[in-house]
Amino acid sequence: MAQTAAVVLAAGLGTRMKSDKPKVLHRLAGWPMIRYVIAALQESSVDSIIVVLGHQGELVEKVLPETCRVVYQREQLGTGHALLQALPELDRLAGGDCLVVCGDTPLLRAETLRRLREQHRQSGAKATVLTAVFPDPRGYGRIVRGPGGIERIVEEKDASLAEKGIAEINAGTYCFDIGILKERLGSLSAANAQGEYYLTDIVKMLVREQEKVETVLLEDHLEALGINDRVQLAEAGQILRRRILTDHMLRGVTVVDPAHTYVDAGVTIGRDTVLHPGVFLEGKTQVGEKCEIGPHTRVIDSVIADNVSITYSCLVEAKVASGCTIGPFSFLRPGSVLAENVKIGDFVELKKTVVGAGSKIPHLSYVGDSTLGENVNIGAGTITCNYDGFAKHPTVIGDGAFIGSNTNLVAPITVGPGAYIGAGSTVTKDIPAGALAIAREKQRNIENWKNRSLKNGPK
């Protein structure tokens, strides 16, 4: 069976992005845009992927799968010249087809690439061009047709006024016979307005030589959107997010307001979970079934089990077991691990802390570098004093302990199972199991203070 190679053109400078990093590394819905292109190619079952890099290509290499082969275009001399750099890799293949795609077209779908390849093979064409009809075709090369079909592709800078009025554009995606590429790439000329070697000139050569050239028209022209500036980046990001949310909704997730819900590619969400407006699920986040997330909640690289409720809160690299409630206005920092049925209330911050099943930290507390057992109750205003100015120290609280409100636990410290701490205590020593600790100044009442203060007050 004939093999299919794919070449991704990703060597451009991307000057209109006005950025210090390569254009194809700018992110949409959590992924760099080139990752969407690679994923679509992989899903379309190509046999090998070659990526042509240029400006700061070593940064782009870091986000590519190890299976991708990389070549460099050291001078930016056009798309034809870029593809020429991949020729040594293509020479390894005895024959077959070659898909050519741009690294800045993240909206291309795998099914589109499969359709392009299938049409190319069934028609017996030497080249097949993906096209689209745009309401506003400015900035794109135009498809010039004649009685026998496509005649040539003209870049906008080289187009006449009449040609600029053509609505059918070149999507920048092709399927070629590999043998044709090997024969024709060396024949390209830079005699055009941009002084570049156009890949599209191969199409013109084939038409002139009466070789068969086919086109495939996109059903959704938005797939052809290329990204050249931050405005187009935002537009593409909006389309990708809507695709992602649509997929989740069709799988049984309720999204109350898709226009104001942001879920990254790769995030998983279980059935019957509800996402409220203002939710951001980012990175490698996993959310279980029957959860209630939001409103206005951000979850990054965290694992959330079933039946969890999170509202007006932020979680970063946290693990939350089933039945937990979090928020409003909680902050779970990296290393926070909650067992089943834990309650984390309003204005609570956790950092590198494990909380046992059934424990409660209802409000206004900071707990860091700590291990809490099961069924622990932390009173309002409790803090673990885990940093002495030089190093962090641990706090350990045993099962069933009760920590009174406004307690300071000066680490390192261990509170035994079933121990009690009186409200307002600053505890600096370990507390045995079942003991009551009170660490505060003895109360002293001064009689008639009100009358005395009025007598001695300002005149």
**H/E element holding 451?**
helix 449-456
List, by residue number, the catalytic residues.
Answer: 363
Q: Of the candidates 2, 196, 229, 223, which has an alpha carbon nearest to the alpha carbon of residue 95?
A: 2
Residue 234 CB neighbour total at 10 angstroms: 11
Residue pair 371/396 in contact by the 8 Å Cβ criterion: yes
Residue appearing with tokens 């199409």: 203
Count of all residues that appear for the chain in the document: 459
Bridge partners, residue 366, by sequence = 349, 383
Distance of alpha carbon 225 from its chain centroid, rounded? Answer: 19
Q: How many Å from the N-terminal Cα to the C-terminal Cα in the chain?
A: 103
Bridge partners, residue 396, by sequence = 371, 414
How is residue 147 written in tokens?
């009685």
The amino acid at residue 162 is A
- Dihedral angle computed from the Cα positions of residues 136, 137, 139 and 145, in that order, rounded to the nearest 10 degrees: -170
Residue pair 261/255 in contact by the 8 Å Cβ criterion: yes
How is residue 108 written in tokens?
């291309």
Distance of alpha carbon 227 from its chain centroid, rounded? Answer: 17
Burial 316-342 (b: 16+ CB within 10 A, else e): bbbbbbbbbbbbebbbbbebbbbbebb
